[in-house]
Amino acid sequence: MSFRDELLSHSPGARDAWVDRRFGIEELPDDGPSLPPLCVPYLPSPVDVILRMIEQADVRESDVFVDIGMGAGRTGALVQLLTGATVVGIEVQPELAQASRELAERLGIAERMSCVVGDASVAVGQIADGSVYYLYCPFGGERLERVLAELEVAAATRPIRVCCLDLPLPPLAWLTLVGAADRDLTVYGSAAGTR
């Protein structure tokens, strides 16, 4: 049975606990002193949101999925295992970045999932081949504005998709909705960013 089949064999309400057991995640890691002011503490995305995001954003094996605020790597690992996409995380807290690397090693996907430590408002512009970007409300204000400015630069060179959980973006001329907003999840595409 494939990982996807195993996951979908569980009821939606049981999937998060099953993933945590399967991934060996016993409890949420604490946030450290390196969490900048106005950044949101770590909280993993619900599994069913990730399933909806993969479908709505049409994430494929050929994509480079960039998890902005990767935390302990749960979302990135799910995306990698379910789609085969290459995953690159950006995490400002070194302890959480290390937890995501350890998760990738445990799952045998370290060649396809990595995490860089850094401020996303700087690091996102250094990932030259991202095609899908995911934000679970990691921050707002000036930091979000800087990330969006970097993503606009990326969108000028290639089609991208931006997926946001609990983070509706302000109207941006370079981004359009992909389908309809779906409760708490919104998927945007750059001008040529949809398939």
Each residue's pLDDT tens digit, 156-181: 989 999 999 988 888 899 999 987 76
Q: Rounded distance, CA 79 to CA 74, Å?
A: 9
Q: Which residue has the higher pLDDT, 103 or 169?
A: 103
Q: Name every residue whose Cβ is closer than 8 Å to that of residue 60 and which is 6 or more positions away in sequence.
A: 83, 84, 85
Would you say residue 77 has pLDDT above 80?
yes
Mean of per-residue pLDDT scores for the chain: 89
Q: Rounded distance, CA 72 to CA 112, Å?
A: 16
Structure tokens belonging to residue 4 = 């996807």
Each residue's pLDDT tens digit, 8-32: 999 999 999 999 999 998 877 666 6
Residue count (the chain): 195
Using alpha carbons, select from 129, 122, 123, 175 the residue that is nearest to residue 152: 175
